[in-house]
Structures are given as structure tokens and as C-alpha cells.
Structure 1
């Protein structure tokens, strides 16, 4: 994120942050009453529908209202299923590549911390989870270094389609997380 700091849009991210807070709170409450598997199925299906809409000629503009609702959806999804990227990625998919990277990184630095605090408060995040997370930290660090070195090789249109593929995979994985316990 540091290398893209000049491209951060705090005006746009402000609306997304404002949406993320109540979305995280809603997810925390939902997790007390609804199984994470049920939420994963519904949210995964929602992501796949959103990707389908994105493939049409519909273009969601990153207005403050759209960013607020993307932040809200990301709060629910990220806190309940750990897959909070698709709503923000879908709203920002047409942004310039450097702005897309900067704003997604800035949003997730804030929102991941918020989700971890909420999950800790509801008993869904423990010391074991923290240790496991630290154990796998080298992977995203190395991926960031690698991505920074090859970013000039990636065309904007490839980035958009890669985002849609990644969002689709996230939707399928979320649904799988929800359905797999029922099949076991």
C-alpha cells in the first residue's frame, strides 16, 4: 500500500469506511444467531450474481453511495466469511490500476483490523487464529513484492477480468464453505 499512497482517495474511501463499520457490526450480531455456513451460502451467491451483473454492460460508478453500500456488504462478508473483497472490487473495477490497488489496500488495512476486533469481541477470533495468521504472513508480503515488480506488465483490462475471476472464485469458495459441512 505504501508505494501507492499518492493514489489513495480518502474522500471515496471515507464512504466505504462508514459503510464497513455497521456492516461489521451486523455480521457480528448475525454470527451470534445464524451459522457462518448459512451466511457463506447466501453471500457467495450474492457475489456470483454481482459478478454476472458486472459482465453485462452495467457499469457501477464509484459514487459515495455505491462505496458506502460496498463497504457495508464488505463488512458483512469479510467479518462472517473472511471474503470481504468482492463488493469493493466490483465497485472499483473500472478505476485506473494504481488507484484500484491503492484504494483496495487502504480499505483492507482498515477493515481487516475492524473485523478482527469485532470477531475477538464475539469470541470468534483467538490467540490460535492470530498465531496461524502470523505463520502465513510471508505469503502476502512476497506476493506484494512480486506484484509491485510486474505491475507495469499487466494491462488494465486484464486486471479487471482478473478481479472478476477472483471475485467468482471467492463466491464459489464461500458457497463451498457453507455447503461442505452439510455434505460431510
Structure 2
């Protein structure tokens, strides 16, 4: 595969926006960036996006409080490990068009979960369910955080961000390892992901001074509205074009 470097560099701005959002509300980098990748460079999904999923959590854990909810994290990671092979199989056997539809549907599911009025607590059972969903969605589409974020919604913000960062870091390692075994993680994925790391770092840096002044509720609503429009566009394009 020969990469279109103009497209890869322009997609870096989607990673910038996603990193800004994730640094502000705890998750969202893949949810914001994935629709752009699916529309303009589907051949880079999900591997290149998983590379950036290593980077931002490392930065967050190094520079932020490491206040991790270990019990919830452990249950979620065990479930994610067990289900990750299903996500690997999906990437290996599904067409680019099918992966696009899956990505769009997962983003819509993310929005529904995020606005749900369900009272979800951080119990072992709920952590296992969230981890299992992420095992598939995080591998097939690099979208695995929002479901676990729903489980952690009652944790204080610093603990939520730190726990999600650890979850992203270990989960991305699981996904990349599984995809590499079946030949679905390529050199092009690695290079594109590395190229996007500076964009991600700039997004994180831009969010730092803004976090104290941002209206988190308004930002969250804007992100969710964007996700609905983007995911519907991805599904329509995959089905009809």
C-alpha cells in the first residue's frame, strides 16, 4: 500500500481534535478521529489509530495524577483480553466497507451509552461487560473507552482519566499484538500512527490551559452531536457509495 502523505498529514488535525477532547473529558480521541479515517483513509483502520492509543495515555499517566481504580481496571482488562480475538477475527474477515459500518454503529452506540440515564455503578460485573465490549470494538475500530467510562462515571475526574488511560494503554497493546499475529497490522499503520503523534501531543498541550475554563457539559454535548452526524455519514457512504 502506498500512502497518500497529504491525506495522512491532513488527518493529523483529526487526531489533534480528538486528543483535545480526550484530554478534556477523559475519552474521545478515537471516537472523534475514526470517522475521518474511515472516510478518507480506511486502509489505515484500525492499526494506525491504535498506535496513537499508546501515546496519549502514556503522556496522561506521566504528567497527570496516577489515581487508578485498580479493581475495576483489573476486571475490565481480563474481559478485554478474552474478547480481543473476536475483534481480530472481524478485522481479518470483514471488508473495508463492513468495517466502516461497524465503526459507524459503534460510534452511535457510544453516543447512546453516553447520554443514557441508566445508573451504572463500578461493580465487577459491569466492568467485565464494558471490558468485553471494548475487546471487540477497541480492536475492530479502536473505540473501546466510552463503555468503560460509563462504568466509571461516578469516580472523581482525576481517577476516571487515569484509569481510562491505563485501560487504553494495555488495551491497545492487546489489540496491536492480536492484529500483528494475523498480519493485519502493517508497516504503513505504524508509520502513519507515528506521524500523528505530534498532532496528538499538540492537542493534549492545547487542552491543558483550557481545561479549567471549558464548560465540560457543553463540550460533551457538542462532541456527541458531532459523533452522530459523523457516524451517520460513515454508514451512508459505506452502504450507498
Taking structure 2 as the reference length, what is the TM-score of the superposition? 0.63
TM-fit CA distance, 1:165: 5.3
| Alignment correspondent of 1:4 | 64
Asked if the contact 1:16–1:71 (Cα under 8 Å) also holds between the matched residues in 2, the reply is: yes
Trace 1:1-184 onto structure 2 (pairs within 5 A). 1-35=61-95, 37-38=97-98, 40-42=100-102, 44-45=104-105, 47-49=107-109, 51-52=111-112, 54-154=114-214, 158=216, 162-163=219-220, 166=223, 169-170=226-227, 173=230, 176-184=233-241
Q: 1:25 to 1:127 in 2, by over 3 A?
A: same
Greater shift, 116-125 or 171-180, is seen at: 171-180
Structure 2: gaps of 5 or more residues: 1-60
- 1:37-95: CA deviations, max 9, x gaps? 43553564355346435535321112121111111111211111122222122222333
Question: Where do 5+ consecutive residues of structure 1 fail to align?
Answer: none
8 Å CA contact 1:37–1:177 kept in 2: the answer is no
Comparing 19-28 and 38-47, the one that deviates more: 38-47
Give distance in 1, aligned partners of 2:118 and 2:99: 27
Per-residue CA shift, 1:109-166, capped at 9, x if unaligned?
Answer: 11112111111112221011100111110121122223333333346xx25x645654
Note the C-alpha offset of 1:25: 1.1
* Distance in structure 1 (CA, Å) of the matches to 2:154 and 2:136: 23
Is the Cα contact below 8 Å between 2:114 and 2:146 reproduced in 1?
Answer: no
Structure 1 CA distance, aligned partners of 2:219 and 2:66?
24
Kept after mapping to 1: 8 A contact 2:97/2:239: no
CA distance in 1, matches of 2:96, 2:122: 29
Q: What is the distance in 1 between the residues matched to 2:120 and 2:197?
A: 33
Q: 1:138 to 1:95 in 2, by over 3 A?
A: same
Q: Is the 8 A contact 2:133 2:147 kept in 1?
A: yes
Q: CA deviation at 1:173?
A: 4.3
Superposed CA RMSD: 2.8
User: After alignment, is 171-180 or 128-137 more displaced?
Assistant: 171-180
TM-score scaled by length of structure 1: 0.80
Q: Is the Cα–Cα contact under 8 Å of residues 62 and 92 in structure 1 kept in the other structure?
A: yes
